[in-house]
């Protein structure tokens, strides 16, 4: 096998609670993460060196791209002297709280593992990914998971809930560091019911899941990006059961009762000038 195609799925945060800052300057978090069917596509071919081309001109194509760095880490770890031509077809918005870069890096690790038949386990790939991105371990396996620590300690979560979703963005992203700095200056936080969310996902209750959506970053992002409250309000008006921001923003997702409702809402939001796509949970 000389070529492989690997899909890189986006993620959303159904709950996200940020706690204390650690001595290493990271923050401890508790979050329920969900992979979704919005994805990038990576075409990976065996080569004598690492080369990366991206469909979005504004994104770096070389060593500054986390997907390129993932390939470097893979070859250093395995001792393989070869390389890879990587073509990244980008669909996931960047700097939006959807793990767009991390999931590409995870797809590179998975793809190279298959292409070179190195037979690394998911746990080994996650360990590699942890060295350069907190979201990469989750993106290796996807599905639904409770993430703690800096987001890299994972526990699978049973999810029996139908999840027709709309993901929408209305403004430019904000750096994760900026969002943490803003949150550090805001002593009052939401009470995020993580355990209740896990129970709700297991029960399959859409209404209960929607009721429990929560993100500590949302209130501070709303202060600097008007599109976040606007999109939440639009989605509720378009019959979303609930809506929340993902990650450190600025994407907003809504949970709908049916895929027909989700498609209709996405079309409506696009007509209003927002980026919007309907999708579902992956795995």
CATH label of the domain that carries residue 128: 3.30.230.10
Between 18 and 178, the more confident residue is 18
Q: Which of 1-5, 126-130, 161-165, 223-227 has the lowest mean pLDDT?
A: 223-227
Q: Of these residues, 11, 152, 232, 261, which one is catalytic? A: 11
182, 127: one domain: no
92, 207: one domain: no
Structural domain boundaries enclosing 265: 165-279
Residue 21 pLDDT greater than 90, yes or no: no
For residues 41 and 225, give the distance between their C-alpha atoms in angstroms, rounded to a whole number. 30
**How do residues 213-248 score in pLDDT, each as one tens digit?**
999 999 888 888 889 999 999 999 999 999 999 998
121, 211: one domain: no
For residues 138 and 68, give the distance between their C-alpha atoms in angstroms, rounded to a whole number. 19
Contact 157, 32 (CB under 8 A): yes
Contact 165, 262 (CB under 8 A): yes
Residue 190 pLDDT greater than 80, yes or no: no
* Bond preceding residue 139 cis, omega within 30 of 0: no
Residue 173 pLDDT greater than 80, yes or no: no
Domain count, the chain: 2
Tell me the average pLDDT across 13-20. Answer: 93
Q: Of these residues, 40, 104, 135, 152, which one is catalytic? A: 135
* 90 given a catalytic annotation: no
Quick one: which of 141, 133, 6, 152 has its CA closest to 70?
Answer: 133
**How do residues 73-126 score in pLDDT, each as one tens digit?**
999 999 999 899 999 999 999 889 999 999 999 999 999 999 999 999 999 999
For residues 247 and 17, give the distance between their C-alpha atoms in angstroms, rounded to a whole number. 10
Tell me the average pLDDT across 155-161. Answer: 98
Tell me the average pLDDT across 261-273. Answer: 97
126, 175: one domain: no
37, 134: one domain: yes
**DSSP state, residue 281:** B
133, 190: one domain: no
101, 227: one domain: no
* 196 given a catalytic annotation: no
CATH label of the domain that carries residue 221: 3.30.70.890
100, 176: one domain: no
Q: Which of 42-51, 142-151, 165-174 has the lowest mean pLDDT?
A: 165-174
- Average pLDDT over the chain, rounded to whole? 93
Beta strands in 25-104 (DSSP E): 27-47, 50-54, 83-89
């Amino acid at each position: 096998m000389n070529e492989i195609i690997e899909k890189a799925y986006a993620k959303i945060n159904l709950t996200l609670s940020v706690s204390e800052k650690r001595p290493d300057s990271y923050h401890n978090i508790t979050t329920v993460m969900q992979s979704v069917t919005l994805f990038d596509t990576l075409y990976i071919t065996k080569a004598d060196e690492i080369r990366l081309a991206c469909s979005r001109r504004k994104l770096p194509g070389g060593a500054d791209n986390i997907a390129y760095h993932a390939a470097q880490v893979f070859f250093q770890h395995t001792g393989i002297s070869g390389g890879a031509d990587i073509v990244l077809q980008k669909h996931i918005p960047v700097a939006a709280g959807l793990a767009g870069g991390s999931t590409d890096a995870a797809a590179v690790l998975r793809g190279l593992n298959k292409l070179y038949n190195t037979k690394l386990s998911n746990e080994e790939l996650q360990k590699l990914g942890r060295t350069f991105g907190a979201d990469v371990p989750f993106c290796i396996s996807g599905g639904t998971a409770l993430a703690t620590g800096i987001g890299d300690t994972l526990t699978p979560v049973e999810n029996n809930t139908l999840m027709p979703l709309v993901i929408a963005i209305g403004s430019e992203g904000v750096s994760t560091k900026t969002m943490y700095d803003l949150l550090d200056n805001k002593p009052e936080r939401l009470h995020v019911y993580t355990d209740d969310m896990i129970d709700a996902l297991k029960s399959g209750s859409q209404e209960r899941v929607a009721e429990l959506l929560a993100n500590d970053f949302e209130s501070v992002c709303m202060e600097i990006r008007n599109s976040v409250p606007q999109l939440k309000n639009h989605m509720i008006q378009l019959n979303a059961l609930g809506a929340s921001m993902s990650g450190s923003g600025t994407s907003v997702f809504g949970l709908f009762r049916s895929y027909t409702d989700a498609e209709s809402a996405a079309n409506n939001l696009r007509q209003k000038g927002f980026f919007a796509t309907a999708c579902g949970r992956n795995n």
